[in-house]
Amino acid sequence: MAAPQLRILVAVKHGVDVGLARADRTTGVVALDTAPRKTSDFDRNAVEEAVRIRERLGGRVTAISVGSASAREALRDAVAIGADDAILVTDPAVPVFDTRAVSRVLAAVSRTLGGFDLFLLGEGSSDHFAGLVGPRVAGELGVADVAYVRKLTVDATGVVAEKDLERELEVVRASFPVIVTVGQEINTPRLPTFMATLKASKKEIRQLSVAEIGLDAAHLDPTVRIDRAAVPATTRKQVTITGNTPDEVARTLVDALRTEGALP
């Protein structure tokens, strides 16, 4: 009898594009609802890792996104990298910056799909960067989790993962089902070919409502509210140092730094 296929889930967020989001000139406030969006950086690493595992061991990679209809873009990115299937849970009831609601949705989707062996996520999103969702889904489902992984080995029964902590590297073994979160050090996501991108644009995205995954709006009541997000004002002197030669530039700079006390 053939071994059962590896079931790999990967979550992708269509988050605020940090490079393009603009702050109000006077107040510094960033309008998160209307800011341009893109696939969150580390999520691409999660998809790449999922696809590499499938390429080695076989199985099926299902990408899941939670958000508005624009989150289709993140799913198309995942399919272009190599995900087999794409599922979008879109419902205005889901507060996308509330990790409780997003985690409940991801846990419910995984139950609807009949479970998983390995569930990969980015260790944090470029916009919110709380690092909560992966471990949170694991807590909700009562399965193992390993966060901040920069090296991952998968076999028929589980994973060996190297966690990148502040001052240490910790190697951990966990059996399936397991949730793993990764950062950008784990791999370099491939640049999809033109053909892969074209194919991804035609891929059918399975859309599920909150009700179809067994939740109702009360499960998703916001518990966290973002009152304000603003770019702190920076006041730099912006003095341009010039000179006819590098030596002259250097002397002028050193004098300026000594005058203001930045150098003894």
- Binders of another protein among residues 15 to 54 (CB under 8 A) are 16, 18-19, 21, 23, 28, 30
* Least CB distance to another protein at residue 147 (A): 4
Closest to another protein by CB, 204 vs 216, is: 216
- Segment 161-220, which members bind another protein (CB under 8 A)? 163-174, 178, 183-185
Instruction: Output 46 or 178, the one with its CB closest to another protein.
Output: 178
Written as six digits, the tokens of 23 are 């702050």
74 binds another protein (CB under 8 A): no
Q: Which stretch binds another protein (CB under 8 A): 66-74, 79-87, 142-150, 201-209?
A: 142-150
Q: Restricting to residues 221-240, which ones interact with another protein according to CB under 8 A? A: 222-232, 234, 236-240
Label residue 212 exposed, middle or buried (CB < 10 Å: 0-12, 13-18, 19+). Answer: middle
Q: Of residues 60, 111, 115, 160, which one binds another protein by CB under 8 A?
A: 160
Cβ 101 to another protein shortest distance, Å: 10
Q: Residue 189, preceding bond cis, omega within 30 degrees?
A: no
Task: Please provide the distance, in angstroms rounded to a whole number, between the alpha carbons at the two ends of the chain.
Answer: 76
d(C-alpha 150, C-alpha 154), whole Å: 13
Contact between 66 and 89 under an 8 Å Cβ cutoff? The reply is yes
Output the CA–CA distances (angstroms, integers) from residue 148 to 52, 64, 120, 154, 257, in the order listed: 18, 20, 11, 16, 40
Stretch of residues binding another protein (CB under 8 A), selected from 44-52, 54-62, 111-119, 124-132: 124-132
Residue among 133, 74, 139, 65 nearest 98 (CA) = 133
Site for another protein in 84-103 (CB under 8 A): 98-100, 103
Nearest to 39 by CA among 92, 9, 77, 10: 77
If binding means CB under 8 A, how many residues of this protein chain bind another protein? 81
83 or 119, CB closer to another protein?
A: 119
Q: How many CB atoms lie within 10 A of CB 69?
A: 11
Applying CB under 8 A, among 45, 65, 126, 187 the residue interacting with another protein is 126
| Complex with another protein: residue 62 or 99, whichever CB lies closer | 99
